[in-house]
Chains A and B, each alone.
Chain A
Amino acid sequence: MNLFLETLIGGLLAGTMYSLVAIGFVLIYKASGVFNFAQGSILLFAALTFVTLLEKGLPFVAALAVTIAILILGAIVIERTVLRPLANRSPMTLFMATLGLSYVVEGAAQGIMGAQVHALDLGIEDVPIFLGDVLISQFDLVAATTAVALALILALLFNNTRIGISLRAVADDTRAALSVGINLNRIWQIVWAVAGIVGLVAGMLWGARQGIQFSLSLVVLKALPVLIIGGFTSIGGAIAGGLIVGAAENLAETYVGPYIGGGITPWFPYFLAIAFLYIRPAGLFGERALERV
């Protein structure tokens, strides 16, 4: 029973790390209907910039502030050079543009800051806490708290600020939002900047665990099943999806893995996502698309 509880709790906490990555996708999808393939590269770029600045001797807060400033600048550049020229094109065109963008961002990150592995110490001890006989990771607890805090901040931003309401209007009906004078270009800049900052937070936490290096951009592979299960348009869905994926893959690896050769964590969440697609194609919290035909 202890093993089951420990696996379940550990899985739920690990799942929030996946949610953090998924939230970045949700933000951009909500605002533009585009699946941003470049989110992983942006996450890598953000974390690599932050750690490079730290290594150059900048204090933690200054490095964070400069990185955020660079991400905001990057969002403006992306909007002007990639998104604006492709406005009113099909979602597939925009998706392909983000695919190309991911290579540019990855290349720029490694070209400017090098390909070497960097250690990142956030001062969070990765030592276990015991609740009775159940082992819980202190690092995962901090990551989970961060994910929940981030989700709350974003919910406040969406519901209580003028920018947030404009963003929701664009997400609901872009043409109607334009007709009442909402500046779509500015909204895209804001949403890409916020997605970049979310990527930075995710990159810092994942980077503290595995080091900051190219493979950080691959953590987005964990976000895809989370998005399918939770829905592409809901931040709450991203949290729920992350919890489900984290718990399911941990339990599956522990109880099913030994009977089928083990190493099943990469594909099991996708198996689960396919099952969800049969039952709820829009995900648990996603918006169901209604189209007049």
Chain B
Amino acid sequence: MKRLLLTALLAASVATTALVPPSAFADSKEQYVPLPTYRVGPYASSGTLWWAGTLDYFRYINEVEGGVNGVKLKVEEFETEWSPDRTVEVYERVKNGKDGAPVAFFFTHGTPASYALIEKGAADKIPLIDPAGGRTESTDGTVFPYAFPLLFNYFSQASVGINYIAQKEGGFDKLKGKKIVTVYHDSAYGRETQAAVELLAKKYGFENYQIPVADPGNEQSPQWRQVREIKPDWVFLRTWGVSTPVAIKTAQRFGIPADHIIGDVWAGSEADVIPAGAAAKGYQALAPYPGGASFEIHDRLRKTILDTGKSDLKDKKFFGAVYYNIGLINAVLAVEALRAGQAKFGNKPLNGEEGRWGFEHLTIDDARLKQIGFYGLLQPIKLTPSDHEGGGAARIQQWDGEKWVLVTDWIQADRDTLRPLIEAKSAAYAKEHNITPRSPTAEN
């Protein structure tokens, strides 16, 4: 009898909850921020620092600044081990928000997941954010209103790499006849720059060689034997995870000098060079996310989060590591986009459509960078409904054997040259999926 009564009560409570209209919950004062993360698995060494940066900044916003214009961020992590299928599962679980707190954006945290979710995000009207990653043609927001390869898309990465090589050679005219080999991770991420490098090779007259390294890339002698046969002037290294230190060490064995190898964004952290030991000294990498803890934001975080024991970092020596700073920068981009959205829709939690508007009108200039403490760490950025990248620049950092040293100021990608290629690819996507591109001025 007692069991029957309990069952009846439980059923009644479930039924009552189900009958309550959604609007009754929709008075949350919080912004729901779900984060698909990877603290275990093959990429945990980068993930643990990345999420520490992100969580520390969100904590700073909540506890020091009292939220984004008073709206607290309700952050929740989901372990994915960087597996796209798990990220899709997370997305499905969180897209409707939590306890009435809406979702304004969803960080995919990986190009494969960005590819997997691109149609779902558009259908559900949830902006998919993938800074320095994502599907490159989704830079064209007229075709991809809900995808944001923010800050530094793959074509820009290729372009800044070539621009830096030109700078080192003494001008673009000096690139003619030079041999530039791209050693790349044989995946969607690794292949993403091929079209851009091919275009730039035609423009500047250098010889373009592409050599794939299959995942995980822990033995690369055959590839670097091929590189040595080519006798390259420069190597553009687009590896990921363990394939980067193995590449740097194998390159040394085959006589390729480290200071003539330029790593891309995802081959330019401490985890990429420390295992390579002395072989990595002189190695350079693109840095839209520079390493170092001497920026203004680090002082603020040190005082309010790190020294007060509130940091998510297990080991304080990683404060200011490249992956920690990636977390910080991605978090500040999200916060600033929320502020932009709130400027139009009011200081309240935003939904996906309002979040998209916020990202599409995100502008962070030098003055704002100084205000928020990110000057020198983050490039000025301005997005529009047709430009979902907004930045397209990186600094170059060089490993001195112990730490990364910034050796250039921001180098801008040749976006005018690359834009037609992006538009051609996005037009092909639009045709294939029967999408009518929206007007870029329709929603200002």
Q: Which residues of A contact B (CB under 8 A)?
A: 3, 6-7, 10-11, 14, 17, 106-107, 110, 114-121, 126-128, 135, 137, 139, 206, 209-215, 218-219, 222, 249-250, 253-254, 257-258, 261-267
Contact = CB atoms under 8 A, between A and B. Distances in A.
Contacts of B39: 115
A209 B250 CA distance: 9
Contact of B216 (A114, A139, A215): A215
Given A213-B242, A215-B241, A263-B212, A10 B48 contact: no
B229 interface: yes
Contacts, number: 120
Interface stretch (B158-166, B251-259, B367-375, B432-440): B251-259
B277 A121 contact: yes
B219 A265 contact: yes
Contacts of B242: 210-211, 213, 215
Contacts of A137: 221, 253
A10 B218 contact: no
Nearest to B223: A253
B94 interface: no
Contacts of A17: 219
A107 B40 contact: yes
Contacts of A211: 242, 245, 271, 274-276
Contacts of B246: 209-210
Interface of B: 39-45, 47-48, 186, 211-216, 218-219, 221-223, 225-226, 229, 241-242, 245-246, 249, 252-255, 270-271, 274-277, 279, 314-315, 318
A125 to B, nearest CB: 10
Contacts of A214: 40-45
Contacts of B214: 263-267
A114 to B, nearest CB: 7
B220 to A, nearest CB: 9
Contacts of A257: 222
A10 B226 CA distance: 13
A215 B218 contact: yes
A11 B221 CA distance: 8
Contacts of B186: 262-263
A210 B226 contact: no
A249 to B, nearest CB: 8
Contact of B218 (A116, A209, A212): A209
Contacts of A209: 218, 246, 249
Given A10-B221, A219-B218, A126 B253 contact: yes
> Which 4 A-B residue pairings sit nearest by Cβ, starting from the closest?
A211-B275, A253-B222, A115-B44, A263-B212
A239 B179 CA distance: 40
A116 B213 contact: no
Contacts of A264: 214
B212 A119 contact: no
Nearest to B213: A263
A174 B44 CA distance: 42
Contacts of A219: 218
Given A3-B225, A128-B254, A250-B222, A262 B212 contact: yes
Nearest to A121: B277
7 contacts: A114-B315, A126-B279, A127-B252, A137-B253, A210-B275, A214-B44, A263-B212
Contacts of B253: 126-128, 135, 137, 139
B218 A126 contact: no
Contact of A117 (B47, B254, B271): B271
Given A119-B275, A210-B246, A262-B186, A126 B252 contact: yes
A7 B218 contact: no
Given A114-B315, A126-B279, A218 B45 contact: no
Given A114-B314, A250-B222, A3 B45 contact: no
